[in-house]
């Protein structure tokens, strides 16, 4: 089973010509839906309100093969909303309306096994109000030998200074660290990929590291291997969910290649397939107004 842990909300997307579309969103919801559409067994761990918007999200997840038994529904609560205005490069500028109650908690974590994957990320993964629960999932996944995938997904304007301790703790847990060059620029204040790898290795000496570079492609580091792959030329309608789709593609390839044994047998060929699948998933999302890959 793949478990994705993160925020669930409704995206209100405003295009350059003033058109408005509503899409179920949240980084890990997007990852879950892409993996569900790719035919993988996936469950979302999240929080929603007991309102019409929350029910729309639940119905959408179930329609796309995503289990919702670990989604906490707050009685009488509202579901969060993100207003995303696309710029000339089809990149979103967000305004979030969070609607969490004062008392929050995630469902108890499952008993993870070596055949499971836990994917988590974004600033939700550094939320001090529920970090005790998030950490319980991380400890359970680590104890059971599950593969842990972390995407920091730092947006411009996020204040990460007071959450650095939790962010670096998340990096230390991960078996796979996947992030964009912009993410790591905000974290480390540097943009050279080799320098970023060096900083990440101070925190985590073993993880497979993937850095996406926008239109320049992506790069992966593992042990003494460094491999780069160009991006796919794409007519971009929206970049919302593109990074999440890349994460889903990475995990999809890891599962299809049965790479769960500490990456001891991973070759350059394996790594190239991982980047290719991440790139393929991401490019599919960029060609649509959806936050997830098309139904396969």
Give the ranges where 121-207 is alpha helix by DSSP (H).
131-144, 164-173, 181-188, 193-203
* Sequence spans of domains, the chain: 2-99+109-286
* Closest of 4, 8, 57, 11 to residue 35, by C-alpha: 4
Task: Check if the beta carbon of residue 234 is closer than 8 Å to that of residue 282.
Answer: no
Q: Which helix (H) or strand (E) holds 96?
A: strand 92-97
Contact 33, 148 (CB under 8 A): no
The answer to whether the CB of 27 falls within 8 A of the CB of 127 is no
By residue count, the chain amounts to: 296
Give just the sign of the alpha carbon dihedral 161, 163, 214, 224: positive
Single out the residue of 143, 168, 151 nearest to residue 246, CA to CA: 151
Digitized pLDDT (tens) for each residue of the chain, 296 residues in all: 999 999 999 888 787 777 778 889 999 999 999 999 999 999 999 999 999 999 999 999 999 999 999 999 999 888 888 877 777 777 777 777 787 888 999 999 999 999 999 999 999 999 999 999 999 999 999 999 999 999 998 875 555 655 588 999 999 999 999 999 999 988 888 878 999 999 999 999 999 999 999 889 999 999 889 999 998 988 888 888 899 999 999 999 999 999 876 787 889 999 999 999 999 999 999 998 889 999 87
How far is 213 from 177, CA to CA, in rounded Å?
A: 14
Distance CA 124, CA 150 (A): 12
Superfamily of domain 2-99+109-286: Ribokinase (3.40.1190.20)
How many whole angstroms separate alpha carbon 209 and alpha carbon 223? 10
pTM of the prediction? 0.92
């Amino acid at each position: 089973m793949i478990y994705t842990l993160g925020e669930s909300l409704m995206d209100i997307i405003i295009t350059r010509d003033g058109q408005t579309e509503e899409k179920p969103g949240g980084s890990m919801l997007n990852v879950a839906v892409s993996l569900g559409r790719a035919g993988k067994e996936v469950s979302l761990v999240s929080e929603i309100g007991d309102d019409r918007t929350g029910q729309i999200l639940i119905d959408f997840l179930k329609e796309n093969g995503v289990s919702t038994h670990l989604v906490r529904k707050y009685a009488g609560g509202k579901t969060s909303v993100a207003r995303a205005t696309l710029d000339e490069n089809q990149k979103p500028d967000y305004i979030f309306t969070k609607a969490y109650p004062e008392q929050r908690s995630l469902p108890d974590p499952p008993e993870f096994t070596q055949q499971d994957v836990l994917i988590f990320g974004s600033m939700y993964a550094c939320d001090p109000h529920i970090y005790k629960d998030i950490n319980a999932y991380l400890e359970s996944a680590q104890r059971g030998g599950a593969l842990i995938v972390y995407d920091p997904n730092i947006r411009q304007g996020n204040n990460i200074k007071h959450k650095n301790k939790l962010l670096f703790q998340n990096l230390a847990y991960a078996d796979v660290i996947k992030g964009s060059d912009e993410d790591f620029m905000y974290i480390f204040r540097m943009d050279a990929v080799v320098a970023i790898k060096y900083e990440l290795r101070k925190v985590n000496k073993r993880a497979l590291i993937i850095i996406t570079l926008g239109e320049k492609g992506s790069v992966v580091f593992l042990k003494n291997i460094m491999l780069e792959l160009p991006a796919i030329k794409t007519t971009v309608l929206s970049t919302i969910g593109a990074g999440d789709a890349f994460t889903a593609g990475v995990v999809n390839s890891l599962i299809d290649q049965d790479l769960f044994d500490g990456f001891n047998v991973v070759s350059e060929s394996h790594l190239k397939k991982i980047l290719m699948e991440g790139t393929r998933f991401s490019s599919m999302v960029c060609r649509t107004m959806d936050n997830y890959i098309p139904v396969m």
